[in-house]
Structure 1
Amino acid sequence: MPAPEPTPPQSSLPVAAADFGAHVLAQAAARACDVKAATGESPGAPALPATPAAPALTVPAPLPPEPPTAEVPPPMPGLERILRGPSGLGTAGLRLILREQPPTPAEPSAATAKGRPIPGLYHHQVAEPDPARVEEVSRRIKSWALDEVSLYPKDLEEQFDGFSVGRYMVGCHPDAPTVDHLMIATRLMVAENAVDDYYCEDHGGSPVGLGERLLLAHTALDPVYTTEEYQGQWAKSLDADAPRRAYRSAMGYFSQVASPSQSDRFRHDMARLHLGYLAEAAWAQLDHVPEVWEYLAMRQFNNFRPCPTITDTVGGYELPMDLHAQADMQKVIALAGNATTIVNDLYSYTKELDAPGRHLNLPVVIAEREGLSDRDAYLKSVEVHNDLMHAFEAEAEALTANCPVPSVQRFLRGVAAWVDGNHHWHQTNTYRYSLPDFW
């Protein structure tokens, strides 16, 4: 199959049409009227939400507050997350946070130019991540992982460096205003990979007992509230192993900057991820290869979704809860997660073949269930990815046209940037990945 012509850097999302998503605004206005009827007060423009208190962790000072724009009355209960200021829904995406230094697009370096995309895989080329930011994020995340939370022993330092998480996150979040914002995503990414490594795969992971380990780790993201007698025992358990330490610390940093609804959204997506881990573990225990559609269903949960879904927090703004929860937005986010995860299946194919045991990925499942050769199953998996990408872009385009709220447009651009950055990292990370000889 011939390689496609390179696609110039672009956003696949068009300028929004004139229709303003009136149904969303009408729902918000109706709720505002309900509040007025219940309280007898007039719902004025609420203040921006205060930064939630951080857990009892050693964390840096919160990011500097934005300059106040005007005095506003105290927010009314139930209204704060719906109305985002005097201009209505969507104005959160217009908050001004000064970027430290606009990056200059860089040409691919000699170290990354040797990475080649999978022939026939639909993708967009992107500029090299800002090298100054990559260097700083890489330095900070290594200090956090090795010194602050003791996540990996020294003998795994080379593997940690080879993961190139700094390049990964800088490339996936080009609109992050500061390195501090980039670090929010980077800690969470490293913590999530540690859970996968230690609990599921490379470093002693096993499907046996996985449910218990994941549940206890999840309490580092979603705190337990119990009786005084047992609360202390739970709190001590958060330091019991590396994944729980990483989850607790990364969530502490995240909660300093995220709103309550953004934090709850992330916890929900992490529960989805853990559910996907459990399905794959069940198949491993049963030595069962699922049907292709079953595998794809699992991959909608065991995928990258928690990463692009926080793109607004990393960007320094908020997509309001009502807009994030819209069915069309949820479909776009799901398709983005599905497409990016199949990218991982394809680029990690040879790596997983060389590992002990049988690793389920889309080419392996298609070959087993549809009786195809390894090569034909791999090429069909490329087609599945391309179909998911086209669906993602079509749904995002339609949503942008139907609901051209500024924060919606910015969020969708951020998700599209994450999709493109994810592919670029997989393509260029030749320390981890190599392509099969199918062309």
Structure 2
Amino acid sequence: MIKNIMMRTVRSLKMRVFHKLTPILLVLFFILLTVINRAGDKESQNEEEPLPMRTDRQKGIQQFEIPREDKGTGDKDSPDKIKTGDKVEVKTNEDETAKKQVTVNEKVNKPKGTAVISLETLREQKLNNYKKEIEFNQHLQDTKKKFADIVKLAETILNSNKKWKIVLLTFVDEDNTAFANSWLCNTKYLDLHSSLILVTYGRESKEFMDKNWPGIRKYTLEPNVSEQDLRSVQLTPRKLQIINAIVHAGINVLLLDVESVWFANPLPSFKADEGSDMLVNFAPKSRVNTGFLVLFATEKTKSFWATLYGKLRSLANTSSEHSIGLETRFEDMLHSMLSSRFGGVSIRELPIASYSEGMWYMLSPEERKKTRPIVIRNNYMSGFASRIDRAMQWQHWFTLNNGTCYENRIKQMIPVVPIIKV
């Protein structure tokens, strides 16, 4: 009897354990079943769409391979094909055609991918760039011939004046003729005029300068065209052509603005300069001062100004740019190229305390005492009449009402500022 009681107790205990474990076992069973099903689905997917082998990839990019005669020959002009993941880069030695990419479709059921740019297009672009470079080089040669007369004037200056190995260059039209007259009076005793070339623009400015300054070397653009007709013609591209012609002839140039006042002759501080391609003056938080710019005729300077002229020439050929103003675009491009030291050009910055712009007039008396100006450009004021009034108020105007030089004021200016070598 006792044995029966123990057996019933054991069976009762087993049933209780079974009832408690059954839910847990069922959960574990369903989890195991889910894992097995997912593994089976993944395996079936792999069987339906196998991953492409390397040989399949190679078949997909064969259409973009370079012809046998163009690759592996060591030719510098031959492009190299480099596979990078999903893309194939077609590289050439030209900067313009670098990093061109050809996209390849990796799926086996699409045997060929789509090329973004073909090799024929790359070759055509390279050929067009080659032709443009040849045409531009020819244009520079034509520029030398076209402005051979002004180059001869510059060479005459260097041969007759051994003291300064630099030519002063400025441009005069009807608008700034009065400024040019005042500046010539301002500098007549500074031993500068023998090194100066005055480029007049149009008939009226030429006649005025011939009458009042017959001893100054001049070169006239469009001598038979009135100033009114010249309004529709941009002076800036021709200005750059003249600069290129002189610099490419191996002649140093000081590009200056006649809307300035000079307190001394700065040339002694420049004639022995070495190691710089250009001397420039950056106005704080503004563009470079184009009213006083020294260009030494180095190879880097020649390349720099040829490139600058090429950029501006492209803009001049588009009619939409005329409304913007090529002079402004020229100054912007010049500032950008100088700031980035384009072509590795070496520059020396002129001290703003000595080579100032129109902001000098806005300084307080205490601030002006900290400067020793050699040249002040009369800008940062709209209108020629306003600038003339400001120059008169500061006694920086050197002509009388009849156009003759104000001799007393000129002589008072000469000893004011000693030459400071920069």
TM-score, normalization by structure 1 = 0.26
Query: Which one has a larger percent strand, Structure 1 or Structure 2?
Result: 2
Query: Which one has a larger percent helix, Structure 1 or Structure 2?
Result: 1
